[in-house]
């Protein structure tokens, strides 16, 4: 009984610390977006405004899951899939994950040109327009 109590305490503290990390991570993303929208964005997909922070966050989550990266690993819009350790099979699975999450259909030509989180997010926004 004592051990059961102990484990429930540690679980609670773990989940609250996770929540804390999530919040601070989101904050970081919003800040970088605030700055980014005024700078010229050198992307293949030229959109009027940068993708919503929630979209980028969801993409990061899918990438993180696919590549089995720790929850605290730094993934930003600029992160290249290849630099995070993705090979061609991973990249294709990431695109598949994005299709499922956002209920979109990505042509293979477009799929190939996505190399960063930002590019993925921008493409999603464009397809959802």
Partner 1 sequence: MKLHCFDRKFFHSSPSLTPIQLPSPMETHLWYVIPREVKSESLLNKYLDILSPCEKENVFQMRGEEPRKNALLARALVRTTIARYQINSQVSPRSLRFKKNIHGKPELEWQFSDHGLSPPLHFNISHTSSLVACGVTMNSQIGIDVEEKHRTIKHNILTFARRYFSKDEVQYLAAILDPEVQRQEFVKLWTLKEAYVKALGRGFSGAPFKTFTIRYKGVAGGSFNPLEDLNPEALQMVVDSFDDPIELTSNWQFVLLELVGSHYAAICMENNVDIEGKRTVPVKLTVWKTIPFLEDECVSGTDAVKTVSGLK
List residues binding partner 1 (CB under 8 A).
Answer: 65-66, 80, 82-85, 87-89, 92-93, 96-97, 108-109, 111-113
CB of 96 to partner 1, least distance (A): 6
Query: Is there a catalytic annotation at residue 72?
Result: no
A 10 A CB-CB count for 28 gives: 13
Choice among 72, 87, 90, 122 that is catalytic: 87
CB of 108 to partner 1, least distance (A): 4
Phi-psi region of 3 (alpha: psi -120 to 50; beta: other; left: phi over 0): alpha
**Distance between CA atoms of residues 101 and 48, nearest Å:** 23
A 10 A CB-CB count for 68 gives: 9
Q: Which is nearer to partner 1, 99 or 126 (CB)?
A: 99
The residues annotated with a catalytic role in the active site are 87
């Amino acid at each position: 009984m004592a051990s059961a109590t102990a484990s429930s305490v540690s679980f609670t503290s773990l989940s609250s610390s996770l929540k804390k990390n999530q919040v601070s991570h989101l904050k970081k993303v919003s800040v970088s977006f605030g700055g980014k929208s005024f700078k010229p964005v050198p992307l293949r997909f030229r959109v009027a405004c940068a993708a919503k922070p929630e979209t980028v966050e969801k993409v990061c989550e899918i990438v993180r899951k696919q590549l089995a990266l720790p929850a605290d690993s730094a993934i930003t819009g600029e992160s290249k899939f290849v630099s995070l350790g993705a090979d061609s099979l991973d990249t294709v699975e990431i695109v598949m994950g994005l299709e499922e999450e956002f209920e979109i259909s990505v042509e293979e030509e477009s799929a190939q040109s996505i190399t960063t989180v930002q590019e993925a997010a921008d493409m999603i926004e464009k397809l959802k327009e």
